[in-house]
Structure 1
Amino acid sequence: MSKIFISCALPYANGPCHLGHIRSTYLPADIYARYNRMVGNDVLLVCATDEHGTPIAVKADKENKKPIEISKRYHDMIVKDVESMNISLDNFTRTTDEKHYEIAKNFFKDLYDNGFIYREDIQQLYCPNCNKFLPDRYVEGLCPVCGSEARGDHCEKCGRALDPTELDEPHCITCGTTPVIKDTFQYAFKLSDFEDDLKDYIQNNENLPANVKNYASNWLNDGLNDWILTRDMDWGIPVPLEEAKGKVLYVWIEAFLGYISSASQWSEQSGKKWEEYWDDFVVHFIGKDIIYHHSIFWPGLLKAYGCKLPDMIYAGEFLSLEGEKMSTSKNWVIWIADFVKDYDPDLLRYYLTINAPLNKDSDFSWDDFQRRNNDELADVIGNFLHRTFTFTRKYFDSKIPEYANPSAEDEEFKKAIEELPAIAGEYISKFEFREGLLEIFKVAKKGNKYFNDQEPWKAVKEDMQKAANCLYLSNQLAKTLAYTLKPYLPTKADAIAKIMNIDDLSEWKDASVFLPSGYEINKAKPLFKKIDDEVIEAEKAKLQENLKESSEDENMSDLISIDDFDEVVIKIGQVLEAEKIEKSDKLLKLQVDIGEEKPRQIVAGLAKFYSPEELVDRKVCVVANLQPAKLFGTLSQGMILATGGSGALLSPDENGKVGERIQ
């Protein structure tokens, strides 16, 4: 018996699960875990929600909530999604748990104390308006390679990993201000020290699939740089060093440790040692977008820590929707919560597995989903099972008949049944899940043909033994299907077992053990139903409607309500003084009377359009309730309204009085 540590990539707690999450990570991990439990291996399957990082902090800022409120909301949704798909996790926790904080801090401190992490002086983007350094996701701009809109860490268009300082036309996503570059420091991991070790790990690990090896090798070919492990943020796990106040661990050091903290929590509850599973065989199931994190960064950290590296990293390729890339922002997506409202989750488990191998991109199509459900599950597997059970009840009083004087066709079919568990099991053990399911389907299809060829409805009148042999073998296949489908379709497998009076499907070896003659089964009911055309047309229409609504919402996103406008206080002001700001060719420092006791000091980007003398005594429109900010080290207490292109001032009528609010 082997001990196997299996992890699913941590879902990021800024949204619920959609089909792509299930297909690439959770479903294959569950199939592998369920099969290995059935063959007698001791399995530990863990996961957690990844709850730190800038996207959650950004979402919290926009919703005026605390980040923990955002992560808790989506953690609860994700838990429901995973449970609804019957993913058999042994433990599912959170990276905001105290246990995780403790493990992450200790891990960082150990690497630091042993000289693998060092302080590095760097330059980083800083927002003068928000008065803070900007972590990567707080910056957006244009990709310096392809010119597309990009985040501070990544360009989705060309796939290039970026540093925020590389962006063209960067801006702070909170306030829109153009950031400046300032000196600061972070903590870096000596990833470059492990380049040779990682090359050996990638090139000589026979367990790694081709897509992981190729992706990681391409990354390694460019050489490895040391890797910044900290960020300037409030939201995250504090760096456990006195001099590092205000800095947190980057999610791509502490999120990996979610596997360990989840396993550690399980150990406390179960009394078993998770380390025994890790030391035997480790499998990470991930999506292909995080291959280099898991095949390079994570093994590098583990190597420095002195820990065994993962034996297997299985990366599922992308899933598109109706031929187009899934997009949560455009609502071009199918959420798990929506799917399971109307369909049995096993139908989705079947489709996502049978549709394409995990190492190839795949597409979800409602038409193809209907076809596979109707033609394969209902017409082949479902039809075979229903005919077997109803004929056994009708002609043999619900008891498996005697098998005697078999024909060559009987023996050939019998052999296929006996061999199925070993063949399907071999595929699953080698992570070839689609091939295993195809083998099961192939034998079920062979069962349908055998049933048709034997014509038991005729044989009961002309050759009862022929009919008996047909129903004897058909029931044996039905039993074998219950066992072999269990890793793939757990609820449907249990339903087959219930009809066959089987209480337990936990032992894979029992799949090839035939039931004795005289064994009684229960009354059957159809296990798979066809999906009507009208239902599928409605699903496709719903997708298009979602896309349309998203587009309309996007077009309306720049509109504000009258209440929003009322919050902006615009007053008539008069410029009393104006002067240039040293080292800036755009900015002027103005003293503006807006009817208050003291004039307001306002920094305005008008130097290219007006001389200081031209502005003195001019009446202007001033946003008076803007949060004060420093621009080029100069305090600004408002905003002068002017056009962006020509710098034309929005001037009030000559009858307007200084200090009067514009309504």
Structure 2
Amino acid sequence: MTKIFISCALPYANGPCHLGHIRSTYLPADIYARYNRMIGNDVLLVCATDEHGTPIAVKADKENKKPIEIAKRYHDLIVKDVESMNISLDNFTRTTDEIHYEIAQNFFKDLYDEGLIYRQDLEQLYCPNCNKFLPDRYVEGLCPVCGSEARGDHCEKCGRALDPTELDEPHCITCGTTPIIKDTYQYAFKLSEFEDDLKDYIANNENLPANVRNYAMNWLEDGLNDWTLTRDMDWGIPVPLEEAKGKVLYVWIEAFLGYISSAAQWSRKTGNKWEEYWNDFVVHFIGKDIIYHHSIFWPGLLKAHDCKLPDMIYAGEFLSLEGEKMSTSKNWVIWIADFVKDFEPDLLRYFLTINAPLNKDSDFSWDDFQRRNNDELADVIGNFLHRTFTFTRKFFDSKVPEYKNPSEEDEEFRKAIQELPDAVGEYITNFEFREGLLEIFKVAKKGNKYFNDCEPWKAVKEDMQKAANCLHLSNQLAKTLAYVLKPYLPTKADEIAKIINLNNLDDWEDAKVPLPEGYEINKAKPLFKKIDDDVIDEEKKKLKENLNENEDENMSDLISIDDFDEVVIKIGQVLEAEKIEKSDKLLKLQVDIGEEKPRQIVAGLAKFYSPEELVDRKVCVVANLQPAKLFGTLSEGMILATGESGALLSPDENAEIGERIQ
């Protein structure tokens, strides 16, 4: 027996669960956990809500509430979502629990005492209007790599991890002020000391799937820098050092420890030792957007703490919606709570598993969902089960008939039934969940063909033994389906078991034990119903209406002509240009806009133009922008240029210096 520690990536407690969360993390973890319990392994499946960090603090600011109120609200919603999808967690806790604070602070203090965490003097963005430093998501701007809009710590478009000071055109999300750069200090972890260990871990861990290994190795190619572990915030776990007043642990050190604190809380409740599970076999189920956190940062911390590293990190790729990227801000999303109001959760579990392997991006469309439900669940699996149970009741008084004098076709089908549990089990063991479900579907389809070829409705009049063999084997497959479907469709599997009079589906090996002659089954009932076109049309209509409503709300962001008239854009000419020391993207320009003296403007153009190329060029300048310091240099305006290519918006050659653009 193997003890297996399984964790799901911690969801941020700033919103409920949608389809993407279930597909990439919770569902595969549950399939794996359920199967391993059935084969006799001892499983500990844990998770928690991630309740610190800037997303919750930002949302609290917007709603004028305390962060703990936001966290509590969404923790409760997430628990309902996870439970509604029948995710068999052994413990689901919170990172605001007392035990988590204790574990996180002790972890930090141990590394600090070992000399692996040190004080780091650095520059950080500071909002002079809000009078506070701006960690992570309190600042937004343009990604310095791809030019897309990005938040302080991450660009969603190119996936680059960022430091807020790297952003082009940054602004405070609370008040919109351009921040200044100010000296401060934080505490950093000596991640660079573990670079060789991590390269060895990634390269030689045969358990890691290709997408995780390749992503991590690409990240390691550039070498590792030390990693800042603290932030200047009120919301979070206080740094356990007397001299670190007002500083909290960065969420990406303490959130990892949510796996440990959830397991430790389970240990306190049950008296079992979670460490026994960790020290045997550890599996993390995550989304691909946090691969480098779990394959580099987390193992680095564990290595420093002399802990066993995770055996497997399984990263599910993204799920899109109707061919478009999901967006919670645009409401282009299907929330779990909305889905389970109208459909059984097992239908979604089936679709999300069989539609694509986890290591590939997938798409949810209502039409495809309907097709798979109707053509596969209803017409193949459901139809086979219903005909088997109905004909057994009609022709054999609900008793499994005798099997004798089998034909070659009978024995071939019997062999397929016997081999199914081992085939599915091997797929699940190898984390090939879709392939396991496809194997189940393939044998169910074979069962339908066998049933049709035998024509038991005719055979009972012409060859009773042929009919008996057909119904005998069909009931055997029905029983086997109950077992092998249990990890995938737990509710439907239990419904099948109830018809067959099975008390439980706990032991995978029982799937291979045939029902004896004369075994009595119950009356059949339809297990899978077809979904009508009008139901799907209504769902698609609701999805589009939700998007339209959100777009209407966004119309409030539009400005009037009077608002635009307040922005003064003038024609300018660059007189001087030079690079700013220690910055690879900023240039300091002296620009004539028709005033007594030139304006000094800092512009993020160094990657696109040399200083020499800009001298004498006419440019468009936002002239009434509040002055701000960028990289310690005063900037008295903004040069207009495109985000991705850095192309300057150049006026016509006839435009006069100082002329206002109307």
Does TM, normalized by the shorter one, top 0.5?
yes
* Per-residue CA distance 1:105-135 (angstroms, 9 max, x = gap): 0000000000110000000011111111110
* Per-residue CA distance 1:331-390 (angstroms, 9 max, x = gap): 000000000000000000000000000000000011110000000000000000000000
Asked whether the 8 Å contact 1:128–1:630 carries over to 2, the reply is no
Alignment of 1:514-553 (within 5 A): 514-553=514-553
Q: Does the C-alpha gap of structure 1 residues 443 and 247 become closer, same or farther in structure 2, counting only changes over 3 Å? A: same
The answer to whether residue 4 in structure 2 is matched with residue 9 in structure 1 is no
Which residue is 2:367 aligned to? Answer: 367
Which whole-Å CA distance do the structure 1 matches of 2:35 and 2:511 have between them? 12
Which residue is 2:281 aligned to? Answer: 281
Which residue is 2:648 aligned to? Answer: none
Q: Which amino acid aligns with 1:273?
A: K
* Per-residue CA distance 1:543-591 (angstroms, 9 max, x = gap): 111111111100124689xxxxxxxxxxxxxxxxxxxxxxxxxxxxxxx
Which whole-Å CA distance do the structure 2 matches of 1:121 and 1:57 have between them? 25
Deviation at 1:219, TM superposition (A): 0.1
Asked whether the 8 Å contact 2:349–2:488 carries over to 1, the reply is yes
Which residue is 1:422 aligned to? Answer: 422
Which whole-Å CA distance do the structure 2 matches of 1:103 and 1:66 have between them? 24
Query: Structure 1, unaligned stretches of length 5 or more?
Result: 561-607, 612-628, 633-645, 649-663
Deviation at 1:157, TM superposition (A): 2.2
Alignment of 1:253-402 (within 5 A): 253-402=253-402
Which whole-Å CA distance do the structure 2 matches of 1:559 and 1:391 have between them? 69
Deviation at 1:143, TM superposition (A): 1.6
Asked whether the 8 Å contact 1:47–1:91 carries over to 2, the reply is yes
Asked whether the 8 Å contact 1:423–1:439 carries over to 2, the reply is yes
User: How big is the alpha-carbon RMSD for the aligned residues of Structure 1 and Structure 2?
Assistant: 1.9
Deviation at 1:150, TM superposition (A): 1.3
Which residue is 1:554 aligned to? Answer: 554
Runs of at least 4 residues of structure 1 off by over 2 A? Answer: 557-560, 608-611, 629-632
Asked whether the 8 Å contact 1:140–1:171 carries over to 2, the reply is yes
Deviation at 1:609, TM superposition (A): 9.9
Which whole-Å CA distance do the structure 2 matches of 1:76 and 1:304 have between them? 35
Which secondary structure does the structure 1 equivalent of 2:279 belong to?
A: helix
The answer to whether residue 78 in structure 2 is matched with residue 78 in structure 1 is yes
* Per-residue CA distance 1:133-190 (angstroms, 9 max, x = gap): 1102111111222222111111222222211111111111111111111111000000
Alignment of 1:162-201 (within 5 A): 162-201=162-201
Which residue is 2:585 aligned to? Answer: none
Which residue is 1:466 aligned to? Answer: 466
Which secondary structure does the structure 1 equivalent of 2:404 belong to?
A: coil
Which residue is 1:105 aligned to? Answer: 105
Which whole-Å CA distance do the structure 1 matches of 2:298 and 2:180 have between them? 32
Q: Which amino acid aligns with 2:533?
A: D
Asked whether the 8 Å contact 2:4–2:43 carries over to 1, the reply is yes
Q: Which amino acid aligns with 2:263?
A: A
Moved more, 209-218 or 147-156: 147-156
Query: How many residues get paired?
Result: 574
Which whole-Å CA distance do the structure 2 matches of 1:155 and 1:467 have between them? 63
Alignment of 1:485-634 (within 5 A): 485-557=485-557
Which whole-Å CA distance do the structure 2 matches of 1:48 and 1:156 have between them? 24
Which residue is 1:127 aligned to? Answer: 127
Which secondary structure does the structure 2 equivalent of 1:185 belong to?
A: strand
Which whole-Å CA distance do the structure 1 matches of 2:168 and 2:440 have between them? 54
Which whole-Å CA distance do the structure 2 matches of 1:195 and 1:449 have between them? 57
Q: Which amino acid aligns with 2:27?
A: L
Asked whether the 8 Å contact 2:2–2:41 carries over to 1, the reply is yes
* Per-residue CA distance 1:593-627 (angstroms, 9 max, x = gap): xxxxxxxxxxxxxxx9999xxxxxxxxxxxxxxxx
Which secondary structure does the structure 2 equivalent of 1:5 belong to?
A: strand
- Percent of aligned positions that are identical: 85
Q: Which amino acid aligns with 1:214?
A: N
Which whole-Å CA distance do the structure 2 matches of 1:43 and 1:484 have between them? 18
Asked whether the 8 Å contact 1:128–1:631 carries over to 2, the reply is no
Which secondary structure does the structure 2 equivalent of 1:244 belong to?
A: coil
Which secondary structure does the structure 2 equivalent of 1:242 belong to?
A: coil
Q: Which amino acid aligns with 1:555?
A: M
Q: Which amino acid aligns with 1:52?
A: H
* Per-residue CA distance 1:491-525 (angstroms, 9 max, x = gap): 00000000000011000000010010000000010
Asked which structure has the greater CA Rg, the reply is 1
Moved more, 233-242 or 134-143: 134-143
Which whole-Å CA distance do the structure 2 matches of 1:129 and 1:630 have between them? 13
Alignment of 1:202-241 (within 5 A): 202-241=202-241
Which whole-Å CA distance do the structure 1 matches of 2:659 and 2:54 have between them? 35
Q: Which amino acid aligns with 1:509?
A: E
Which residue is 2:152 aligned to? Answer: 152
Asked whether the 8 Å contact 2:178–2:628 carries over to 1, the reply is no
Q: Does the C-alpha gap of structure 1 residues 306 and 555 become closer, same or farther in structure 2, counting only changes over 3 Å? A: same
Asked whether the 8 Å contact 1:129–1:630 carries over to 2, the reply is no
Which secondary structure does the structure 2 equivalent of 1:44 belong to?
A: strand
Q: Does the C-alpha gap of structure 1 residues 427 and 233 become closer, same or farther in structure 2, counting only changes over 3 Å? A: same
